[in-house]
A and B are shown apart, each in its own frame.
Chain A
Amino acid sequence: MFKIVKREEMAEGTVILNEIEAPLIARKAKPGQFVILKANETGERIPLTMAETDPEKGTITVIYMVVGKSTALFRDLPVGSGYQDVIGPLGRATHIEKLGKVICVGGGTGVAVLHPITRALKEAGNHVTCIIGARTKDLLILEKQMKAASHDLRVCTDDGSYGHHGFVTEVMEDILKQGDVRLVVAIGPVPMMKVASNITRKYGVKTMVSLNPIMIDGTGMCGGCRVTVGGKTRFACVDGPEFDGHEVNFDELMLRLQAYREDEKVCYDAYCTLHDA
């Protein structure tokens, strides 16, 4: 068992943080890499990009939104209990180098994935502007941490309840207009990454996105996570999860993420009924 040593609820309980004992993974993991978690014997294997690692303590941290049965199962694991299986670190680490002016754009739980990357980019000597957003103020996560990890933090909410009233991509475009931006890292819901990539393409700014497609093994064996990048089929688990946003076929990815939508609903509804009873 991989013990949960810390658990936090964020964004009105819709987003959960788990710090998990996994010393071998913690020792090796780098920003941008992911793990696969499985709650119990009958559970599904779920890939999540790590939000934090502590090699000394031997722990890794994942932050996820509760969207279906598997994440609901994760949510219901108390501190002291744990995951039956945690596998990793998987995928390629983010390529970190000193480029100059960099923008990190995060939406939803993508902010959690963005956090270690932002910090590493700052530590590498880049000037990092960070833009994070959520639907409304109470759903915003990791504001304090992102502020510390970057030079300049901008916050957006769709309903205007906090920060800029509008999308993160609007703020990003304003900064792009000022010029000199060498890299954009955009991590969040697929539509957000698609819009961000379309905008940066106009400005000719290199853009990195982190993809989270459906996956089984995470080691290149099943091909379930295949995405089209630059017209070629790539496996997000071993070739990614980060890709050049200008090359990714986001429409295909969005469709593929819906593959089991009905099955997921059956599973989730049954779990909720059981849970409520």
Chain B
Amino acid sequence: MDAENVMNLGLARTGRAAMQREESMVDKQATKTKKEKIPRQPMPEQPPEARARNFEEVPTGQSAEAAMLEAARCLQCKKSTCVDGCPVEVDIPGFILRIKEGDFTGAITRIWEKNALPAVCGRVCPQELQCEGSCILGKKGDPVAIGNLERFVADYERKHRNAALPKKAASTGKRVAVVGSGPSGLTVAGDLILKGHEVTIYEAFHKPGGVLVYGIPEFRLPKEIVFSEVDGLTGQGAKLKCNAVIGRAVTVDELFEEGYDAVFLGVGAGLPRFLNVPGENLIGIFSANEYLTRSNLMKAYEFPKYDTPIIRGKNVITLGAGNVAMDSARTALRLGADKSRIVYRRSRQEVPARAAEVHHAEEEGVEFHYLTAPTRFIGDEKGRVVAMEGLKMELGEPDDSGRRRPVPIEGSEFTIDCDLVIIAVGALANPLLTRATEGLALNRWGYIVTDEKTGKTTRPGVWAGGDIVTGSATVILAMGAGRKAADSIHEYLSWGW
């Protein structure tokens, strides 16, 4: 069965789809042979041995020719499963068609209609689970490289600045406070500013971007790109207030007193989880949050040009196997580690990180140790970590998460030397804001309870989205939550519901 037929099977369920099928058969037939000949265009990358020692971006970006060739692979399905797979419903066939035609400015304009942060999403979205995972071409061969194409046009536009900014609706006179400038907050701000509302973004750190800036490393998402996307929002009239810890300097009540009509809370999960094993407070043991914030936000990798120091381990262990763990293990290599190991208590099948991140880490020389868990850290007389004791595990019965529970193997104790340990085993809900805000229902883990469709919290006029609602998730899911909340806030400001 070829790709075309797979697509058409899906469409043939209704009479209308059957008609579309005939139309599409006609226009597809002519180009079919040509399309199948074009292989997925590879993304050029820095070679692993070089990039593992610098902080420059790993993929170096595609040429216009490669992007147009890649765009030509798209079947332009009428029923676009890729769009269904996108949490913010970008018109994917629409923007790809424009790339194919060489209209890069038209392509970015198309994306902007649904996504204010394409340069970010093109880089950090798990496309294999979303748009590309739903691409018909992927059923048989390689899906269209949608993420790479999105990245290409966003980068092209940042360089050339040809596109007219999206049009703003007439001012409504309504004011919205967005708390947190991570992916959900930026999406809310971007959507609402276009709808004519006055938006102020509050950020606790001294720079905007949230996890895009403190969490994701430069080699995966250059900060200049994030700041450029934020500049785009402020250029449209959004106000940005950094160093503003809502819940401390200003409370949510005071935001309403100041005259805001609606408040969106997108403050992130933000409290690092530790393992609670002996020796965890030795020097050289970091939460991934601290390690990555030092490196990314504070630019400790440029110490002493920047004043914030970081421990440059030679023999590094990262505990956990999510995207944050991959970022940590790869950062350690770039900070001069001879050995950078991922230690994970489950098996390879359960690794939560994106396949591409694991692949990049492996290429760069990160070692993976599965079914292994720490039991104790050992320090020297100066209180610095020098070794980790652990146990080998085997998989037992499934646990609450549906994954098989790792069970220690008796007599499998071992000790390995290390001089830096990064704990990347997830986050908990930071209570700083929620404790200081009346009327917000929280779930048993301290995350904010919201209506799934609208992002409304239990307090009138207050919405929430992103990790403070879902717990640690992805950038694009936070953006999807931001989109829903923005739509709901707009309705509320327009009609009062």
Contacts and interface: CB of A to CB of B under 8 A. Distances in A.
Contacts of B272: 221-223
Interface residues of B, number: 40
A252 interface: yes
Interface stretch (A83-91, A97-105, A134-142, A178-186): A83-91
A88 B248 contact: yes
Contacts of B250: 24
A265 to B, nearest CB: 10
Nearest to A43: B307
Given A28-B249, A42-B305, A222-B287, 18 more contacts: A24-B244, A25-B249, A28-B248, A42-B299, A45-B308, A85-B243, A88-B248, A90-B248, A216-B293, A221-B271, A223-B272, A228-B281, A233-B281, A252-B281, A256-B281, A259-B311, A263-B304, A267-B307
B171 to A, nearest CB: 27
A224 B286 CA distance: 7
B289 A222 contact: yes
Contacts of A233: 274, 276, 280-281
Interface in B267-315: 270-272, 274, 276, 280-281, 283-284, 286-287, 289-290, 293-294, 298-299, 303-309, 311
A217 B250 CA distance: 17
Contacts of A28: 248-249
B290 A216 contact: yes
Contact of A44 (B249, B298, B382, B432): B298
B248 A84 contact: no
B469 to A, nearest CB: 17
Contacts of B407: none
B206 interface: yes
Interface string A213-227: 000110111111011
A68 to B, nearest CB: 9
5 contacts: A28-B249, A44-B307, A216-B290, A224-B286, A266-B304
Nearest to B312: A263
A24 B308 contact: no
A161 interface: no
A255 B270 CA distance: 26
Interface string A21-62: 000110010000000001000111100000000000000000
B69 interface: no
A157 B283 CA distance: 34
A220 B430 contact: yes
B265 to A, nearest CB: 14
B307 A88 contact: no
Contacts of A216: 290, 293-294, 298, 308
Contacts of A266: 304
Given A28-B249, A217-B205, A223 B289 contact: yes
A90 B430 CA distance: 14
Nearest to A254: B383
Interface in A73-93: 73, 84-90
A263 to B, nearest CB: 4
A184 B311 CA distance: 37
A44 B298 CA distance: 7
Chain A: number of interface residues, binned into ranges: 35 or more
Tell me which of A69, A88, A219, A258 has the highest count of chain B C-beta atoms within 10 A of its own C-beta.
A219
Contact of A42 (B242, B280, B307, B432): B307
Contact of B298 (A45, A226, A227, A267): A45
A88 B298 contact: no
Nearest to A23: B249
Main secondary structure of the interface of B (DSSP, over half): loop
Interface string A246-274: 00000010011011100110110010000
A18 B270 CA distance: 31
Contacts of B255: none
A50 to B, nearest CB: 13
B353 interface: no
B309 A88 contact: no
A250 to B, nearest CB: 12
Interface in B223-258: 242-245, 248-250
Given A70-B307, A255-B382, A87 B206 contact: yes
A83 to B, nearest CB: 10
B442 interface: no
B303 A263 contact: yes
B493 interface: no
Given A70-B307, A89-B249, A220 B283 contact: no
A10 interface: no
B204 interface: yes
A256 B383 contact: yes
A48 B303 CA distance: 22
A120 interface: no
Contacts of B298: 44-45, 216
A238 interface: yes
A136 B322 CA distance: 54
B103 to A, nearest CB: 39
Nearest to B294: A216
Contacts of B293: 216-217, 221-222
Q: Which 3 A-B pairs have CB atoms at the shortest separation, nearest pair first?
A: A255-B383, A263-B309, A222-B290
B283 A256 contact: yes
B432 A238 contact: yes
Nearest to B273: A223
A219 B276 CA distance: 21
Contact of A219 (B245, B290, B294, B303): B245
B123 to A, nearest CB: 23
B206 A38 contact: yes
A43 B305 CA distance: 9
B205 to A, nearest CB: 7
A172 B468 CA distance: 47
A24 B249 contact: yes
Contacts of A70: 307
A40 to B, nearest CB: 9
B316 to A, nearest CB: 16
Contacts of B283: 255-256, 258-259
